[in-house]
Amino acid sequence: MNLQWPFFGAGGKGWTGFDAVDSGYCAVSVRNTSGKPQVVGYAQSSGMAYGADAIRELGGKVGSAGFPCTLALARTDYQVLVVPEPAVLESELQASLRWSLASMIDYPPDEANIAWMRIPTEEYQPGHEKQLYAIVARDSIVSPQAGWFEEAKLPLKTVDIRETALRNIAILLEKKNEGMGLLSFGPNGVTATFTFNGELYLDRFIAQPMDEIVEGDEQKRQKFFDRVAQQVYQSMELITRTHPFIGIERVVVGPTPAPMDLARHLAGKLPVSVQLLDLAEVVDLSAAPQLNKPEIQARCLVALGAALRGVRRSK
């Protein structure tokens, strides 16, 4: 099964987004409306259950009838590589990328699913080297997961990645011509997603088992906060150097798996505004009130972002 790359304008009536991490699946169904996208269903595995039976069970709980499904791959299931855009015809781009990526992966390129997305700089930096995000996933990892959806009789139409799922959240929060960072939390770390005018420009993953922070003492938590602040600041500096047309004006801190004062800590360390994410500002949660709980939002943010495929905020 080839990766189908997310693109805007492909939302249709809505999507059901699935995400699988250490604690099993989370699934979120989102209906596209003329106003805020509406969450119409949410469910997560009661334990570490994977495969067709778990997918079928969750699909029946999230009101996914009629909605195509998209699956956000686990971070360890794929690579995102920044590569020069080959100077070939559009029709030849896929084959050219497969050839050029052969030396960057540790398995035969014929066994790879390859997708790509342009890093949009030409409008702002004429003459700058054109680059792509190349997404590479081994078919032996992707195909079995696609097979589980087929067995569960749920229509898996696309395979997504975490970077673009989180981008879908970020662009609902963006203001026009604003560079913005979104921090999101998962069981294994924090993701910093930087966007500008609806496009992804940088993603940085800060590996850290969250249970160690939630259960740890204040000294350990403060050390982690300092590390996040440093990584975010370095990311902002990197964007300034490589994409000087982007000014990061705001960092939005997503929901955390347990109460922690990271936003206030970052506000004292970063030279930009730091805010807490108010998901209800951009997504209608009235039909899924469980998602008002920050710990559930933290668990299901990637699944929600995947289900927001094709959605742009009305400005």
Q: What one-character-per-residue DSSP string does 63-86 give?
A: T-TT--EEEEPPGGG-EEEEEEPP
Residue 152 tokens read as 């569960």
Residues 183 and 96 in one domain: no
CATH code at position 106: 3.30.1490
110 belongs to a structural domain: yes
Residues 193 and 134 in one domain: no
Number of domains in the chain: 2
Where b means 16+ CB within 10 Å and e means fewer, 16-35 reads: bbbbbbeebbbbbbbbbeee
Mean pLDDT of 105-129: 89
2 belongs to a structural domain: no
Which of 120, 138, 156 lies at the terminal end of a domain, its last residue?
138
CA–CA dist 302, 2 (Å, integer)? 21
217 belongs to a structural domain: yes
291 belongs to a structural domain: no
Residues 197 and 273 in one domain: yes
- Per-residue confidence (pLDDT) for residue 20, from 0 to 100: 85
Q: What one-character-per-residue DSSP string does 2-37 give?
A: ------TT--TTEEEEEEEETTEEEEEEEE--SSS-
Residues 197 and 247 in one domain: yes
Record the pTM.
0.92
**Percentage of residues in the chain having pLDDT higher than 90:** 69
Residues 182 and 116 in one domain: no
Which candidate, 252, 248, 286, places its Cα nearest to that of 267?
Answer: 252
Residues 97 and 181 in one domain: no
**Could you tell me the residue range of the domain that residue 107 belongs to?**
75-138
- Per-residue confidence (pLDDT) for residue 8, from 0 to 100: 36
Answer whether 176's CB lies under 8 Å from 315's CB. Answer: yes
Express each pLDDT in 64-98 by its tens digit: 567 889 999 999 999 999 999 998 998 899 899 99
Residues 109 and 187 in one domain: no
Which of 138, 162, 189 lies at the terminal end of a domain, its last residue?
138
Neighbours of 280 (CB within 10 A): 13
Express each pLDDT in 170-228 by its tens digit: 999 999 899 999 999 988 899 999 999 999 999 999 999 999 998 988 999 999 999 99
Backbone dihedral region for residue 186 (phi beyond 0: left; psi -120 to 50: alpha; all else: beta) = beta
